[in-house]
Homo-oligomer: A and B are copies of this chain.
Amino acid sequence: MDCQRRFVLGWLCMNRKRLSDQALELIAARFRVLGEPMRLRLLIALEDGERNVTQLVDATQATQANVSRHLQTLTEAGILGRRKEGLNVFYYISDPSIFELCEGVCGSLQKRFGDQARAFGLRA
């Protein structure tokens, strides 16, 4: 645990500054991918199994063009996988660790906005 921590920070804080910049940009980019509600919505819609684009359009109430773009972003980030089947393209979670990140963020937010969080309908 702490070993892992040390490892990661070693990666981030290397002496060679140029490379460290690249690593930081990679990490930041990953966070940015998760920084859009639409994309979170898509991830949630995909959590219990693959869906095709049409199903995701229905689930998210967004335009097909927009959904396709976000799916592309998530796929390029390595978070989703793609599978063609006839006319349909099915997307699926290829990096489930994403959900642990969401949980981490939710935990922080709940700690921070305890009361508001509960007001959000947190029970059940």
CB distance from A71 to the nearest CB of B (A): 17
Question: Is the beta-carbon distance between A24 and B10 smaller than 8 angstroms?
Answer: no
Stretch of A12-20, A49-57, A62-70 at the chain-chain interface: A12-20
A89 lies within 8 A of chain B by Cβ: no
Interface string of A86-124 (1 = CB under 8 A from B): 000000000101111111111111111100010011101
Contact (A105, B99) CB under 8 Å given A31-B34, A35-B29, A37-B25: no
Considering the chains assembled together, what is the distance between the CA atoms of A98 and B78 in angstroms?
A: 22
A interface with B by C-beta (< 8 Å): 4-5, 8-14, 16, 19, 21-32, 34-37, 39-41, 44, 47, 78, 95, 97-113, 117, 120-122, 124
